[in-house]
Structure 1
Amino acid sequence: MKMRNVLLFALAVLLLAALAGCAPTENADANTTPQQTQNTSVNRPDTDRSGNPITLPDQVDSIISMAPSATQTLLDLGMKDKLIAVDTYSAMYFGLEDLPTFDMMEPDTEQMAVLGADLIFTTGMSASSGADPFKPLRDISVCVADIPSASSIETMLEDTRFIAACVGAQETCESLIAQFQEELDQLSDIGAGIQDRKRVVVEIACAPDIYTAGSGTFMQEMLTVIGAENIFADQEGFVAVTEESVITLNPDVILTMVDYVEDPVAEILGRTGWEHVTAVANGDVYLVNTNAVSLPNLHVIDGMKQMAKMIYPEAYAEIENPFAGEAAA
């Protein structure tokens, strides 16, 4: 087992588990929109996405990002030159190994303070133990902006606008969101017209400890938009399920985002007792791009395109596969 793949898998599971809510919050509602929290006199946020009060410096020239989803958004917004440090996963995912890195789960806040960043973006994952590791930075008036993992596409858009407002990139942000919305509408229009809807399961972790997505998750929303039915939509959040339950529900398609086994598709196709599952019998088992279906930002549109073409290749024939010719994970 390659260590890189172990880390990628661990991150994916942690990202999804974080949706249950572990972000540090001092007062306001974590789902408050950027429009509601902005200081209208300067059109900049005065609370973060967890509801904590923040005071942004007049000019943001140096940024630390402690979440891959936020890092990718900052790169999309053209902020690469302002990044002075990132979490280890961001460095690995996005070719930022030259920057100082911090452990997302045990960040060295003393060293962060030495770097003197104008703004630090964090995620509730860092507070999964129950304590806020960034409190020492907040106590010395460092601007720390927390963004809980999004549970819906709409929340992703709000998070993107929040990040853009913090760094003064609203115009670029709205252009990106307009493109995202256009592509989302295209997928939604096709999905709405699908009559014979296929029943799907997405494996986040493979047998014997299968982990998947239920309702109240952005992954559920992704499947709904493209016209697929999640066989575990009756369950809430991200859940562990048994092999027997998957076999009994008999999915038409199995999607896996597992990248910690050598050949996850072959592993599923070779499972004992699964040979009569429709997806296995028909060979409708596919590996999806892990980042595109697990990082809650605008790049989920690429994951949706890939899933759509795997599940309904004819209906989505005119949609370009963003990962054509690439390894899925």
Structure 2
Amino acid sequence: MKKKFTSILIIAAMLILCACGNSANEPNDTSPVTMTDPSGAEITLPKQINSIVVLAPSLSEIVVSLDMGDKITGYDSYSAGIAGLPENVPTFEITNPDMEQLAALAPDILLVTNESLYDQESPFQSLIDAGTCVICVPNRDNIEGIKSDIQFLASALDASEKGSSLLEDFDEQLKELAEIAAGIPKEERKRIYFEVAPAPNMYSFGSGVFLNEMIEWIGAENILADQSGWFTVEGETIAAANPDVIFTNADYLEDPVQEILDRDGWADISAVADQNVYCIDNNSSSQPNHNIVKAMRQMAEILYPDYYAAK
């Protein structure tokens, strides 16, 4: 009798363990995960992520940094050349991608920014209906927003551990730059004009743009910070503001620095007269992601070599 009772207990314990195991694992494996993307849209993540298409270089760089580059099966033409992206895969326009080609790829996830929402309320609805999870990450205008996007993408792509490491490194570099900037005396702080498109249609920015925050973060001042957003600017405005240093990232010109130095009416600007005109890396100064620290450090070492260059 005692032997029979012991056997019953063992069987009961085994049944309980099996039941607990199923309840602990099955929901994670079978239940869809629904969340809100940075654009405010509700999305349902796929159970497994085997293929990703990215239509923005800023997002391509984040996905690669999350060690998910091998999952990318297509990307925008501006992302071409980013280290870590696969070669010989389809490329697309950002603002008007080939929908038939996208549908043929049938990616598990499509990553876009607000630049891809070209004059339509829901241009990717057919892909969503076919089962693709479309995630929109609008271009950010500040550093905190960039951090938030990295954290979101790491979670959505099931790369939280790598995302935490990436954000930790980003934060450490930002902290280092800010601590150095805090030690620069007010009288040594430089006034900057940063140009993103050259004459005759000069284009720059004021407050509310991540580039403006980058300039202020390293201890400098944007001469156009009294305005907001992105805008065209007149040459007379820059001449009157008389910046100490001019930066440009218009690297598609043969010699963007010389083009600025040779402009009519700019000879008396301090930056031009003193030859303080520099070309800044276009990629890291244009894409709102963790790589902005490369452009920040480049600018900082040009502006304040005694403070930053030795670091």
TM-score by length of 1: 0.81
**Residue of structure 2 equivalent to 1:143:** 133
Q: In percent, how many aligned pairs have the same letter? A: 43
**Residue of structure 2 equivalent to 1:229:** 221
Q: CA deviation at 1:184?
A: 0.5
Whether 1:169 and 2:165 are equivalent positions in the alignment is no
Structure 1 pair 247–44 and aligned structure 2 pair: CA distance change class (3 A): farther
Q: RMSD across aligned C-alpha pairs, in angstroms?
A: 1.7
Q: Secondary structure at the match of 1:206?
A: coil
Q: Secondary structure at the match of 1:314?
A: helix
Structure 1 pair 153–45 and aligned structure 2 pair: CA distance change class (3 A): farther
Describe the superposition over 1:245-282 as per-residue Cα deviations: whole angstroms up to 9, x where unpaired: 00000000000001222100011111122111000111
Distance 2:242 2:204 in 1: 15
Q: Secondary structure at the match of 2:172?
A: helix
- Letter of the 1:134 partner, please give it: F
Q: Secondary structure at the match of 1:55?
A: strand
**Residue of structure 2 equivalent to 1:16:** none
Structure 1 pair 194–128 and aligned structure 2 pair: CA distance change class (3 A): farther
**Residue of structure 1 equivalent to 2:258:** 266
**Residue of structure 2 equivalent to 1:212:** 204
| Alignment match of 1:118 (pick from 108, 113, 123) | 108
Please say which of residues 197-206 and 97-106 is displaced more in the overlay.
Answer: 97-106
**Contact kept in structure 2, 1:44 and 1:166, CA below 8 Å:** no
Structure 1 pair 284–44 and aligned structure 2 pair: CA distance change class (3 A): farther
- Letter of the 2:67 partner, please give it: G
**Residue of structure 1 equivalent to 2:13:** none
**Residue of structure 1 equivalent to 2:76:** 87
Q: CA deviation at 1:239?
A: 1.2
| Alignment match of 1:61 (pick from 50, 70, 83) | 50
Whether 1:203 and 2:195 are equivalent positions in the alignment is yes
Higher relative contact order (CA 8 A, sep 6+): 1
Structure 1 pair 147–270 and aligned structure 2 pair: CA distance change class (3 A): same
Structure 1 pair 45–222 and aligned structure 2 pair: CA distance change class (3 A): farther
**Residue of structure 2 equivalent to 1:72:** 61
Structure 1 pair 44–154 and aligned structure 2 pair: CA distance change class (3 A): farther
Describe the superposition over 1:79-136 as per-residue Cα deviations: whole angstroms up to 9, x where unpaired: 1111111111112444644111111111122221221211110111112434432122
**Residue of structure 2 equivalent to 1:325:** none
Structure 1 pair 162–249 and aligned structure 2 pair: CA distance change class (3 A): same
Whether 1:105 and 2:95 are equivalent positions in the alignment is yes
Q: Secondary structure at the match of 1:275?
A: coil
**Contact kept in structure 1, 2:205 and 2:231, CA below 8 Å:** yes
- Letter of the 2:69 partner, please give it: K
Describe the superposition over 1:182-241 as per-residue Cα deviations: whole angstroms up to 9, x where unpaired: 111110011122122110010001122111110001001100110000000000001111
- Letter of the 2:77 partner, please give it: T
Distance 1:307 1:193 in 2: 17
Structure 1 pair 75–182 and aligned structure 2 pair: CA distance change class (3 A): same
Distance 1:318 1:304 in 2: 15
**Contact kept in structure 2, 1:69 and 1:295, CA below 8 Å:** yes
- Letter of the 1:317 partner, please give it: A
Whether 1:243 and 2:232 are equivalent positions in the alignment is no
Structure 1 segments unaligned to the other structure (5+ residues): 1-38, 320-329
Once the two structures are superposed, the pairs formed by residues 242-321 of structure 1 within 5 Å of their partners are 242-319=234-311
- Letter of the 2:136 partner, please give it: D
Q: Secondary structure at the match of 1:89?
A: helix
**Residue of structure 2 equivalent to 1:15:** none
**Residue of structure 2 equivalent to 1:35:** none
Q: CA deviation at 1:163?
A: 1.0
Please say which of residues 208-217 and 84-93 is displaced more in the overlay.
Answer: 84-93
Structure 2 segments unaligned to the other structure (5+ residues): 1-27
TM-score by length of 2: 0.86
- Which has the larger share of helix? 2
